[in-house]
Amino acid sequence: MTSRNATPALSAIRVLDLSTVGPAARCSRMLSDYGARVVKVGAPPRKGGVQIVPPFYAYSGQREMERIRIDLKAEGGRDAFLRLAEKSDVVIESYRPGVMERLGLGYEVLRARNPRIIFCSTSGYGQDGPYSQWAGHDLNYLALGGFLHCSGRRADGGPPIPGATVADSAAGGMHAVIAILAALVARDATGEGAYLDVSVAEGVLSLMALAVDQHLATGEAPGPGHDILTGRYACYDLYATRDGGWLAVAAIEPAFFANLCRALGLEEWIPFQLDDARQDEIRAAFRDVFAGKDRDTWVEELAPASTCVSPVHSVEEVARDPHFQQRGVFVEARHPDAGTFRQIGPVLAGAPRSDQAYALAGPDHTDVEALLREVGIPADDIAALRSEGVVA
């Protein structure tokens, strides 16, 4: 379990985040959970009509982040942003490729003001290439990178819609975090910042490396049911139980498969785990036995017995799961409008958690005065920028 008293690993790092949703917002969420000082940079209300405003609970409600709104198209706004960037370590943006350059805030401009800056551009398809200007979302990147094709099929024969935004979170957000952390380590040695071209679609390729590398090396065409990880064998599948629940069975290793077969009274199938000719029979036998008891009864019997069996939980069940409860993964948050509620805390290894409820800011809260004073902008100038609608 993560120590609640650990010193945050990134407490010395300051991040400017220009994103509102998607992979870049997930990236800054993770950096903040590790202690980075994250400043969310949005557009002033009259300039932000096309921006998505996430629900109050999304991305952990921007807990422990600061906020400022800046019109980056105004000269005073660009200057204010550059002053903030001079005092920052990382800038994260997720505009279409070329937008930051057109605003006069591209990497070379920021680098001239702060040679140590790490500029992370997170986009769907990367900053160049024939797809770079395509609009897209999670499903598009999973489709392009082969993830959907290798997933099981719906009744109509099409790939399923995943139950989580795998591309946004892992191929995009975590990808960006890893790249930023590597750049920070390199900067310690060289003193130089870096430009990071984070392509979510290429992050999907990283997730699909086993299948893609198999094809490149052998010419095989992985897909649903091609190998053990995509449903070829009964030992790696999902099975219904008497009460309408489902079990995940992932008994890949022969010893685990043997344990499972013995526990189910199906020892006769142990020698045939990877026999393609017998898979329909093994599945039928498993289905018949699993249908005889309720899901949680099977879990109680099989999970502790080294069988690689677990329940398929609903989100409601996840929220009350005793293992997660004991691990302390849920924390309290307090919102000025929504009140007190639970949310997932900083769950990644090494990210410290708080015993106290996190105080979330309301939708109209910003830290504009404090942030701009900190970078040397006089109070009168801040007041003028506010009156002109350049900052808020």
The beta strands (E) that lie in 94-200 are given as 118-123, 194-199
Closest CA to 268 of 145, 100, 278, 276: 278
Tell me, what's the pLDDT at 355?
87
Tell me, what's the pLDDT at 46?
72
SS3 361: coil
Interatomic CA distance for residues 373 and 228, integer angstroms:
59
| Residues sharing a CB contact under 8 Å with residue 208, sequence separation 6 or more, in sequence order | 145, 146, 147, 150
| Residues sharing a CB contact under 8 Å with residue 275, sequence separation 6 or more, in sequence order | none
Q: Could you tell me the pTM of the whole model? A: 0.94
Average pLDDT taken over every residue of the chain: 95
Catalytic position from the list 79, 137, 197, 215: 137
Q: What is the DSSP letter of 307?
A: S
Domain ranges of the chain: 14-207+361-387, 228-240+246-311
Amino acid present at 76? G
Tell me if the domain spanning 14-207+361-387 has CATH number 1.10.1060.10: no
Interatomic CA distance for residues 243 and 291, integer angstroms:
8
Tell me, what's the pLDDT at 51?
63
For residue 119, the cross-strand partners are: 91, 195
Residue ranges of the chain whose pLDDT lies below 50: 1-3
Tell me, what's the pLDDT at 165?
97
Closest CA to 48 of 23, 72, 26: 72
Amino acid present at 351? A
Catalytic position from the list 33, 89, 168, 237: 168
For residue 237, the cross-strand partners are: 249
Tell me, what's the pLDDT at 47?
58
Distances (CA, A) of 317 to 242, 283, 314: 18, 27, 5
For 137-188, write each residue's pLDDT tens digit.
999 999 999 999 999 999 999 999 999 999 999 999 999 999 999 999 999 9
Tell me if the domain spanning 228-240+246-311 has CATH number 3.30.300.130: no
Tell me, what's the pLDDT at 71?
97
> Is 294 labeled as catalytic in the residue annotation?
no
Tell me, what's the pLDDT at 50?
54
> 200, 23 in Cβ contact below 8 A?
yes
Interatomic CA distance for residues 252 and 241, integer angstroms:
21
Tell me, what's the pLDDT at 1?
44
Tell me, what's the pLDDT at 2?
45
Tell me, what's the pLDDT at 136?
96
> What Rg value do the Cα atoms of the chain yield, rounded?
25
> Is 355 labeled as catalytic in the residue annotation?
no
Interatomic CA distance for residues 258 and 266, integer angstroms:
9
